[in-house]
Amino acid sequence: MNTVKKSETNKLKRVHLYYKYTGFYSFVGQSLKKAFIPIVLIIAALFAVDRYLVDFSDLFTYVTETYAPINILLVFLASESLLGLVPPEIFIAWSDKMPQPILYLTLLAALSYIGGIISYFIGRWIFTLPRVYEYMEGKMKKHLKQIRTWGGFLIVVGALLPIPYSMTSMAAGMIHYSFRNYLLFGLLRFVRFYLYALAIFNLL
């Protein structure tokens, strides 16, 4: 029993040293620092716009009365599948104005998760196109290198932090990262949506 525990402890130490020497902890720390300010700014901007420029309650009431929820959800899915063109926070604020906010928030989180999967397979497809892959390799060289080095931990960062999750997923597909592990780590996308909703729902 002691031998097993000692072996597990040594394994954890080796993993810790690996991520320490490859700069993973430094990368995560810098990412958290960079993410903190955008998160605060996004929430502050939503609050300021709601208070001084546009009444979000009236706006989202108009949107929900004018457009069917399925259309808005499809737009969100398209955005999450194609480089995260529209900030998810806007849709999270929209879900708060729906009759069942938690249900729609969960639908958004699920669609974001599915959008990431679509992006993953887009990445796999891109990998088969030499010219496109060379272009992406140039634009995302650093990002791809980090995924190859740190694997699932970077997927976790992409799922939780306010960076385009679609790009992280696409990069994971391009390097043929384990799909099973990708699905597992990607579940943290739900955590991100619920945490952000706590702040946005209380402000708007």
Residues recorded for the chain? 204
| Mean pLDDT, residues 78-97 taken together | 84
Categorize the per-residue pLDDT at 117 as very low, low, confident or very high, splitting at 50, 70 and 90. Answer: very high
In a domain, 3, yes or no: no
| Mean pLDDT, residues 46-51 taken together | 65
In a domain, 11, yes or no: no
pLDDT above 70 (res 86): yes
| Residue 14 to residue 73: CA distance in whole angstroms | 44
Could you list the residue range(s) of the whole structural domain that residue 148 is in?
22-203
In a domain, 130, yes or no: yes
pLDDT above 90 (res 19): no
| Mean pLDDT, residues 121-126 taken together | 86
| Mean pLDDT, residues 182-196 taken together | 92
- Looking at the structure of the chain, the number of domains it has is 1
For every residue of 101-163, which 3-state class applies, written as one string? Answer: HHHHHHHHHHHHHHHHHHHHHHHHHHCCCHHHHHHHHHHCHHHHHHHHHHCHHHHHHHHHCCC
Which of 113, 108, 116, 107 has its CA nearest to residue 166?
116
In a domain, 6, yes or no: no
| Residue 152 to residue 58: CA distance in whole angstroms | 41
Quote the pLDDT of residue 11: 65
Categorize the per-residue pLDDT at 110 as very low, low, confident or very high, splitting at 50, 70 and 90. Answer: very high
In a domain, 15, yes or no: no
Residue-wise pLDDT tens digits, 139-174: 666 666 666 666 677 787 778 877 778 888 887 887
In a domain, 96, yes or no: yes
Secondary structure (3-state) at 176: coil
Contact 168, 155 (CB under 8 A): yes
Higher model confidence: residue 146 or residue 107?
107
Quote the pLDDT of residue 29: 63
pLDDT above 80 (res 129): no
| Residue 82 to residue 56: CA distance in whole angstroms | 26
| Mean pLDDT, residues 46-66 taken together | 65
Q: Classify residue 50 as exposed, middle or buried by CB count within 10 Å of its CB (0-12, 13-18, 19+).
A: middle
> Mean pLDDT: which of 75-79, 108-112, 162-166 is highest?
108-112
Which of 65, 69, 158 has its CA nearest to residue 119?
158
In a domain, 14, yes or no: no
